[in-house]
Amino acid sequence: MGIFQNFKNLFMDTVNLAGYIDTETAEKSIRSNIYFRGPNAWILAIATIIASVGLNVNSIPVVIGAMLISPLMGPIFGLGLGLGVNDMNLMKSSGKNLLVMVSISLAASFLYFLITPLSLSNPTELLARTNPTIYDVLIALFGGFAGILEQCRKEKGTVFSGVAIATALMPPLCTAGFGLASGNFSYFIGALYLFVINCLFIMLATYVSVKYFRFRQIEHEDLATGRKAKRISTILILLFIVPSIWSAVMLIKQNNFEDNATAFVGRTKAYDKSIIYDYKIDHTDGSKIELFFTGEPLSQKTRENVIRTAAEFGLKEENIIINDHTTTEDINDIEIVKGIYDKMDTEIGKRDEEIRRLREELRVARGNDIPYIQVTREIANSYPAVKQVHIAQGASVTCDSLSMNPCMTVVVRCDSLMEASEIEKLSEWLKIRLNTEDINLIQQ
């Protein structure tokens, strides 16, 4: 108990925040950093252009550098703080400055992508900012917790830089600007959705932390004004929290669907004489997976087999789109060869797994082999009276309980009977030599 208590005390001392938190200084810092005026506005515009260049050429280091430069977090923390302390003026100022921030970023990225001479033949970094996942939610939430802790602690560190990189607020705004410049509104909506999710969960983390650390609440002189402010705060909190929870639930469902769909396709790609050479997952109108087949035309029985196999992975028939290119002329030689190689990979994988299993069984069987001749020589050398040795592996079964235990029986034929002490010594030696505790030694 003493060790457990000491460990408990050490753990509590380690995680205890008392003495490390300064809510008054944190509040002043958050209030002073919500404004985008003068240098802050120019720095934000410059950081947006740098991030746009990084996304344009798929350079992650450049994007990270831009995120370190940009002063994006201030208004978001301000909204969370305003909700937490019931300060309507702070929420209004933070909301206005958040709109200013978004406008500057969209304008800068829009102008850059409108005039850039660089090509966008493979915009993988831009595409990555158009489809939010549950991981983005988790990063934004815990990044928000880390950011508000950094604001509150007395000794400031470098956490803010890491939070700015992890929560990735700048890249979605740049991608939204690209969507506007190129007329691709799916990019614009997807990227803006990711930015809104990040903002919501950072605000949620800030609000929870402000309540937990018990920041000083704003007192209103007019009781009616105070009640009105609380009602507005409550409505805003619900408007923030409900969409956040809904987004998280939807993204979790989408993530689970993608995992199940990938596992389904990975199980087997061959169905009768047709194979899946490609697949695509889409969440635009409900979660769906589109399967692309090549080979011979799919029969109704084969289609039913595909649906039945998908059901084993939690995929319903309405979630599956079977794109049967087998009877059209759309299949080119590359797709056919790809399909053949995929089928070969599946079959080779199965055979490799079977070979590994058989090798393991062989290794175990060889490990259980008994060196009969060598053991007999060693016994004869130590016990000259022994002339013949019989060694057999088997099992001993108890008649009452019908329980069975592995057992090894050794029969020694001797010219003359061995003494009990010699029999016991030989039995102990056999246990060590044959690596078993169950030895049934019989003397004849």
Of the residues 366, 383, 402, the one at which a domain ends:
366
Same domain (yes/no): 287, 392 = no
Would you say 339 and 275 are in contact if contact means Cβ atoms under 8 Å apart?
Answer: yes
Query: In the sheet that 274-282 helps form, which strands lie side by side, from edge to edge?
Result: 270-271, 274-282, 288-295, 320-324
Cα-flanking dihedrals φ and ψ of residue 430, to 5°? Answer: -65, -35
Tell me what pLDDT residue 111 has.
Answer: 92
386 & 435 share domain: yes
In CATH, what number is assigned to the domain containing residue 388? 3.30.300
Contact call for residues 439 and 427 (beta carbons, < 8 A): yes
**In-domain check, residue 232:** no
Indicate whether 349 and 376 sit together in one domain: no
Same domain membership, residue 46 and residue 185:
yes
CA nearest to 273, candidates 235, 198, 327, 236 = 327
Number of domains in the chain: 3
Check residue 343 and give its pLDDT: 59
Bridge partner residues of 412 (DSSP): 389, 443
Residues 388, 274: one domain?
Answer: no
Q: What is the CATH number of the domain that holds 88?
A: 1.20.1080
User: Given the structure tokens 């402000």, which residue do they identify?
Assistant: 210
The answer to whether residue 10 sits within a structural domain is no
Domain assignment present for 236? no
H helices of 213-313, in order, are: 223-267, 300-311
pTM greater than 0.75: no
**Cβ(187)–Cβ(178) under 8 Å?**
yes
> Given this model, what pLDDT does residue 329 score?
46
Across the 444 residues of the chain, what is the mean pLDDT of every consecutive 10-residue run? 72 71 82 80 88 81 78 83 83 88 90 78 54 72 83 70 67 86 82 83 85 79 64 69 71 83 80 78 81 78 83 84 61 56 67 76 62 80 81 69 70 82 82 78 80
389 and 358 share a domain?
no
For 178, the domain range is 20-218
Q: Is residue 407 part of a domain?
A: yes
Residue 225 domain flag:
no
Where is the domain boundary, 343, 366, 389? 366
* 356, 399: one domain: no
Q: Are residues 94 and 50 in the same domain?
A: yes
Residues 350 and 437 in one domain: no
In contact, 206 and 77? CB cutoff 8 Å: yes
- Tokens 């169905």 -> residue: 271
Res 106: pLDDT: 92
Position 250 in a domain: no
85 & 183 share domain: yes
User: Are 100 and 177 in a shared domain?
Assistant: yes
Tokens describing residue 149: 């802790």
Last residue of a domain, one of 366, 384, 407: 366
**Residue 227 resides in a domain:** no
91 in the same domain as 77 = yes
**Any domain includes 262:** no
